[in-house]
């Protein structure tokens, strides 16, 4: 992710120059920093499902959508 290569303070100061309030700029920085952790947890949950023998490629889209929503909820709970 290219945004992770920037210095944190420079990113926040750049957002502030665009007249974005400091609190919102800082929240955006935290969201960008937190995204790789969330993606890793999502992949871990998908791997756990596949290790249990569920082939996600064979599941119809409607059911797959519900499974991915549950995975997102589980990933979110693991982080908190």
Per the CB < 8 A criterion, the answer to whether 64 and 22 are in contact is no
Per residue of the chain (80 residues), give pLDDT as tens: 555 556 777 888 888 899 999 888 888 888 888 888 888 888 888 898 889 888 888 888 888 888 888 878 876 776 66
Give the total number of structural domains in the chain: 1
What pLDDT was estimated at residue 4?
A: 53
What pLDDT was estimated at residue 17?
A: 92
- Its domain, for residue 32, covers 2-79
Structure-block tokens of residue 42: 């999502």
Cα 44 to Cα 21, 72, 76, 77, 78: the distances in Å are 35, 11, 12, 13, 11
């Amino acid at each position: 992710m290219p945004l992770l290569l920037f210095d944190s303070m420079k990113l926040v100061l750049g957002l502030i120059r665009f007249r974005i309030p400091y609190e919102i700029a800082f929240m955006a920085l935290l969201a960008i920093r937190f995204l790789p952790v969330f993606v890793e947890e999502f992949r871990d949950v998908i791997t756990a499902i596949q290790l249990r023998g569920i082939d996600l490629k064979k599941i119809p889209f409607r059911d797959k959508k519900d499974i991915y929503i549950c995975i997102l909820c589980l990933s979110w709970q693991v982080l908190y």
